[in-house]
Structure 1
């Protein structure tokens, strides 16, 4: 079984992700890098993060690398700092997975996660256990170093307005953005109400900002008469918005809103997103005479294409937006600040800004599926889509387009034992029909196998 998921290496703390395992993973990455390299290490607030990070630091120092511990930070802060001043980075996080999980993301000097080819080299070194061991005179050094202020300065310099004067409810989700985003909005003259700020490794709301976990945020936006609410995931690379009218805007909508602004300012350009993104982005790109590339799902995949194709902007439907001027990786805080700036500069509400776009109805579902069945389920699903379809896209899973321009995407998750079903049409009823069909077919396949 491969070590890597869609993004990083993950497991259940002290079960499948033990200190011994992590030590070997750090030795592996250390052996891939030049002796004496500077590696920045950060972590999210999970209960196991200090344990995991200690093993990471030991493995790096053993291979002759210098470890710089920046403590609890959102991963976009670590990515930015690595790009500015370090040879590599490691983030201790399991992103949106449940609290019992943890994991590692390996960052290159350009601020991006290691590529699929580098993952293969990583696995080869790990399996051989042929790790470099530094001579006692060249064992690496350990230093603590705070990188948050430099990141905040870069974000504040990146936006045009220096005072937004908005009232915003921030749902930190007990995650790493508690160290950054409240202070950013304070510096931008915003009044904030903060939910779920405690960083103790227990997620009161749940680690992932989904519609079914955002009830308290919606209620607070209404009761506080706030301009908007913003929810973040555990490692802080995603942001989901709630309007002043309690509407939840998924990443497709806010990503398209930002893309519209960026394409308009640049009179066209290239946008990168994934096959799971709403058709709204196609409308936005065409309206602005832009170009679009759609990739497999995964932030590092989108980021790699942004770099190679010199795109202006990229995003995923899960709320992760990428601004290559700062870092070609997902950034929840910068996404939050840019959307807030757009609202403040327009003089309109977030609801009003979104209302100018055509409406697409979306639904997403999750079905539990054991890892060993995923490939067989996917094969079965592909046998069912031969009739009444306009087009089939197999970039990632199977995406089926119908004659009425509705579509459904069915794919196995790369990070959890589940199948994901994404569907979209121009009517709620049709979208519900698609979701029901997709969920039934996945369950049918699992039952047969």
Structure 2
């Protein structure tokens, strides 16, 4: 069982002992730290307001109630969106003129996990400095709760999924009429979380025929919720059986979007962003950003449209910071996370669906033909479990030294760019592992590069 504290929030497994798992006491302590941070920032002395929403995890209602009541106990008003999505809460914070937001979700982690994702007043994730202040407050437990007449007010607002859908429909590049005219038939796998509510509603508004697979928001994940090919065999078969135009897969909190081609093959989660960027750049030329672990294909598409591509450190907050610096018009992460500033600065599967279907409708080609039109890069994503005996930093330094004659980036772990392929090594922010991402011009070459690097690490680490 695990409890992971980071600048982006707290994530852990339900049950067990405090400080080692995400127990009720840990949820209250961390919610108190977040609330105390908001109060310290509130120099105007105005009444504070926080938006909260959750995915459909079994533990979600418990954790959400603990967090909401803790904030109320600090004198902070809470607007509870109930079953929601990460991007929906991000959209709601500025619309409600709130001072922050909390999403109760462990994203792609299995059902025994849950987490608190923390937002600022813009509906964006906290930066490193802000996150560290909250971690310090949680450690010190320097909390000053409100007296009875100063308690916050708790209220519910169940309308934000519909508002979010309308925000997407209002985007100029989401061509509702073209999508309706295309007459798409789509299978949706929402892993029995809140995507099962909102994605079918969005597709209905777009005039798309929707076939539901695992769209009951009961938190009983029928397969591993991370949208990787090995977990998506059922939807792949159903897309072919139903003669659908494509399949849509989202993770439990609906910030990652994966596409299935009409023949059941994977469009590739790395290429979700590539396709959406291709469409956006074709209409509104500009710059793009993704992280160091994302495919070179976004760089190629950006350069094709005359824009400039740049890579950030891994983590949504890092991508957003570089997007703002470079005035990027679209960006995101290669795990299927689309960030479109015309909507908001957060990964959003609803926006991704609207842009992707608009692109497909305009081109009038099949999903597989669209995928085949992009440069063929292949990724291998691996990991090595850490033990207390392993000095990860020394391993990364040794790898950087070994390949010092190659193009090296050390802004986030070590990325080694070879002529036709690359490898990125980094410590995970959410799990006790080293992630090893490789990309090459064939799956065999990507896998071979990954295995070579893994073998080299094992020699250095003596494991």
Normalised to the residue count of structure 2, the TM-score between the two structures is 0.91
Shift of 1:81: 0.8
C-alpha spacing 1:138/1:93, structure 2 compared with 1 (3 Å)? same
CA displacement 1:270-319 (0-9 Å, x = unmatched): 21110111111221122111012211111122123323443201111100
Shift of 1:378: 4.1
Aligned to 1:13: 14
Question: Is the contact between residue 165 and residue 350 of structure 2 (CA under 8 Å) also seen in structure 1?
Answer: no
Aligned to 2:417: 401
Shift of 1:381: 4.2
CA distance in 2, matches of 1:55, 1:227: 43
Please show how residues 35-114 of structure 1 align to structure 2 within 5 Å. Answer: 36-85=47-96, 86-114=98-126
CA distance in 2, matches of 1:354, 1:226: 16
Aligned to 1:170: 188
Unmatched tracts of structure 1, length 5 or more:
none
CA distance in 2, matches of 1:41, 1:254: 28
Shift of 1:161: 2.2
Please show how residues 36-435 of structure 1 align to structure 2 within 5 Å. Answer: 36-85=47-96, 86-146=98-158, 147-158=160-171, 159-162=174-177, 163=180, 164-266=182-284, 268-370=285-387, 372=388, 376-385=391-400, 386-387=402-403, 390-402=406-418, 404-435=419-450
CA distance in 2, matches of 1:369, 1:444: 14
CA displacement 1:376-405 (0-9 Å, x = unmatched): 134224314525952121122211122x42
Question: Is the contact between residue 306 and residue 328 of structure 1 (CA under 8 Å) also seen in structure 2?
Answer: no
Shift of 1:444: 4.2
For the residue of structure 2 that corresponds to 1:248, the secondary structure is coil
CA distance in 2, matches of 1:439, 1:199: 39
Question: Is the contact between residue 177 and residue 333 of structure 1 (CA under 8 Å) also seen in structure 2?
Answer: no
Shift of 1:62: 1.0
Higher mean displacement: 438-447 or 184-193: 438-447
CA distance in 2, matches of 1:14, 1:406: 43
Shift of 1:7: 3.6
CA distance in 2, matches of 1:387, 1:80: 43
Aligned to 1:31: 36
Unmatched tracts of structure 2, length 5 or more:
none
CA distance in 2, matches of 1:177, 1:150: 15
For the residue of structure 2 that corresponds to 1:79, the secondary structure is helix
Aligned to 1:437: 452
Higher mean displacement: 119-128 or 16-25: 119-128
Shift of 1:199: 2.3
CA distance in 1, matches of 2:61, 2:354: 30
Normalised to the residue count of structure 1, the TM-score between the two structures is 0.94
Higher mean displacement: 25-34 or 221-230: 25-34
Question: Is the contact between residue 7 and residue 127 of structure 2 (CA under 8 Å) also seen in structure 1?
Answer: no
Alignment: residue pair count: 444
For the residue of structure 1 that corresponds to 2:342, the secondary structure is coil
CA distance in 2, matches of 1:384, 1:7: 28
Question: Is the contact between residue 83 and residue 327 of structure 1 (CA under 8 Å) also seen in structure 2?
Answer: no
CA distance in 2, matches of 1:381, 1:303: 26
Question: Is the contact between residue 7 and residue 132 of structure 2 (CA under 8 Å) also seen in structure 1?
Answer: no
Shift of 1:421: 1.5
